[in-house]
Each structure stands twice: as structure tokens, then as C-alpha cells.
Amino acid sequence: MDSDGPPDSVTVDVAHVHGRQMIVGAAVAGPLGVVAIAAAVTGGVDGGTGVRVAAFVIGTVFALLGALPLLMWRVAFRRRRLVLDAAGMRWDDPRGRPWAVRWAELSRVRLVDPEPDTGAPRVASTVNLLLHPAGPEFRDAHPEMEHLAVAKAGAPGVAYRLPFGHAHRVVGPIDDALARFAPGLYRTPGTWVAVPGRPWAVPAGVSLLALCWAAAMTAAVLDDASARTLAMGAFWTAAFTLWLVRIWLGGPLATGQMARFAPTLGAVLFFGVLLIAAAGYSGGHPPDPGEDWVVLLLALPGAAVFTAGRLLARADVREWTRARGQGR
């Protein structure tokens, strides 16, 4: 993430990271909102007027989320950069509150980084950079940083907290820069090690999921090749492809959600087919012996989806997605 800075410095473009998060979220929410609105207006929603109104309202909310990058362009994408070098660090924010600090003015630096969001049920935490002054004179010397001051837990004086929200991609560059320029001051819980290369389980899992989706879409089109089916199939294929792309690129949320969802869905599909076949046998309507292979063929997608989910839940995949989520 080095850019536009002196040769011996590290520049972390915080605005770029926040803007990227907003664009990805908008790319997902916007199309869903448009589809929901279109379905509500054209009568493509079953359940009466109340359901159509609800679909329209929900679609409007999602569509507005999709429009956020346009509505908040000046605020979200204004220049905000953290520059670290051998002398210290500075916050480059021409339209905000810039500041600069020398390493000699600090006694300790901590980078607080929770686990990236993988969709697990927990309270989402944020990334923060904590600066601990070397002496009480720091506060008078840096009034421009007063808005960052926070009380120390169980200790006199204040520390200074620079929040990054959920922008986990700043962690890797900041961690590397602090270890390089301020090794005597840098304190942080845990260690972050970049995982070299994409684990083999990722392309294997993505391939299995893509094949299963292609088979499902082919079956749907063969059953009903109407324009509506083709349009909905194209939309959901695009959405699912985006999900797979995020997994391929190491997105912690996309990978974590699929790792939890796919095994359950796969097990339901697999055992569902077997239960239906067993019900046929017990009810006196067994399939023709020559069609037993059909039962096995129908059970294969469930097994494939289950396997893909288990592959994406591997420890090496979790470590890789965490490193990718930190911008490494």
C-alpha cells in the first residue's frame, strides 16, 4: 500500500480501503434492491398487496445502500492517509484534522485488530491504533489531536486512539511499518504471518461449488426456459459468481459464510435424496433397478457441496483469508 510518499516511508491509503468496502457492499445491495423493486412493481411477488409493499420497501432500502458511493462520494473518498517513516507518523487529511508525531514523543504503540468478520455471531469490533505519550507534555504539544484522546484504563493520563472502523486491510501495512520503523515502541497482541500462496482447498472448493451451481441452473432452464426463468437465473448466477470471486480472492466474510452454510446445505441435499428413495422403497414404489444410478447421481451435488464447505473451513484457509483480510 506504499504510494505517493517518500522512498523510505509507508503510506496507508485509508480512504481507498473505506471506499473499496463501500463499493463492494453497494455492488451486492444495489442489484438486490433493484430486483426486489422490479418484482414488487411488476407483480412478480406472490402473497398479495401487503407482501408487494414490503418487497418494495425492502428493495428501496437496498437500492439506497447501493447508491451510497454516489451519495457520499465527497465524504467517503476524501483524502485520508497514514504515513509512517523513520522519524514518526503523520495523518494526512487536508480537509480534516491532520497531525504529526515523532517516535521520540511516544512510549508505546499498539495496533488493536480483532478477527476479520467471517459472519460468525459475535459483536463486531473495530481496528484501532493506540498511541501512548512519553510524557504529560504531549497533550499541550499536540492540541490538534485532542479529538483522539481517550482515558487510559486504570492509569492516569490519556492515550490517543486513531480508529479505522472495520477496515482490516490497513492492518498488514501498518503492522509491517511499525515493526520496521518503531520496533522498540510497537506492542500488539498476537502475531500476524502472511500465508504464502492460495491453499489448494480454495480452488477445489470453488470448483465444486461452481459445478453444482451450473448443474442446478441447467436443470432449471431445461425444466422451464421462459424469459423470466432465464432472467432470474442470470441474476442469481451473477450474484453467486460474485460470492465465489470473493472466496477466490480470500474475502474472510464470503469464505466464512460459505464454510458454515455449505456443509449444512450439502447434508440436507444428500440425505434428502436418500430419504426420498428410502420412502419409495418402504411405500412399495421402489425405482426401477436400472435407475438406481439416478439416485446416486442426484445425491452427488449434496456430497460435493458438503465437501466444498469442509474444504473452506480448513485451518490453512482461515489463516490465508485472515492474512488477505489484513491487506497482505
104/178 same-domain check: yes
The model's pLDDT over 167-204, given as tens digits with 9 standing for 90+, comes to 888 888 898 899 889 988 987 655 555 556 889 999 99
pLDDT tens readout for residues 223-252:
787 877 787 788 888 888 988 999 998 888
Would 9 be classed as within a structural domain? Answer: no
Do 127 and 149 fall within a single domain?
yes
Angle, helices 292-312 vs 201-223, to 10°: value is 140
Cβ neighbours, 10 Å, residue 143: 9
Residues 34 and 60 in one domain: yes
Question: pLDDT exceeding 70 applies to what percent of the chain?
Answer: 81
Indicate whether 49 pLDDT > 80. no
Does 313 have pLDDT greater than 90? Answer: yes
Domain membership of residue 106 (yes or no) is yes
Range of the domain at 261: 201-325
Question: Can you tell me the mean pLDDT for 136-163?
Answer: 86
Q: Above pLDDT 90, what percent of the chain?
A: 27
Q: Which residue would you say has higher pLDDT here, 220 or 102?
A: 102
Note whether residue 5 is domain-resident.
no
Which tops the pLDDT comparison, 91 or 269?
91
pLDDT given at position 195: 59
64/125 same-domain check: no
At residue 142, the pLDDT reads 93
pLDDT higher than threshold 90 for residue 88:
yes
pLDDT at 40 over 70: yes
Q: Which whole number is the average pLDDT over 248-271?
A: 89
Q: Residue 97: inside a domain, yes or no?
A: yes
Helices 201-223 and 315-325: angle between axes, nearest 10 degrees: 90
- 3 has a pLDDT exceeding 60: no
Specify whether 83 is located in the same domain as 54.
Answer: no
Of 24, 52, 76, which residue constitutes the final position of a domain?
A: 76
What pLDDT sits at residue 206?
96
Asked if the model's pLDDT at residue 284 lies above 60, the reply is no
Looking at 35, 52, 76, which one is the last position of a domain?
A: 76
Which pLDDT does position 4 carry in this prediction? 52
- Specify the pTM: 0.69
Q: What is the pLDDT of residue 169?
A: 82
Given a cut of 60, whether residue 79 has pLDDT beyond it is yes
As a whole number of angstroms, the longest Cα–Cα distance in the chain is 88
279 and 309 inside one domain: yes
| 27-36 average pLDDT score | 78
Number of domain units in the chain: 3
Whole-number pLDDT of residue 255: 92
Average pLDDT over the chain reads 81
Query: What pLDDT sits at residue 285?
Result: 59
Please indicate, yes or no, whether residues 207 and 301 belong to a single structural domain of this protein: yes
Span 194-220, average pLDDT: 88
Task: Kindly report, residue by residue over 118-144, the tens digit of the pLDDT.
Answer: 555 555 578 889 999 998 899 999 999
Residue 10, strand partner residues:
84
Instruction: Report which of residues 270 and 187 the model is more confident about.
Output: 270
Lowest-pLDDT range of 34-38, 183-187, 316-320? 34-38
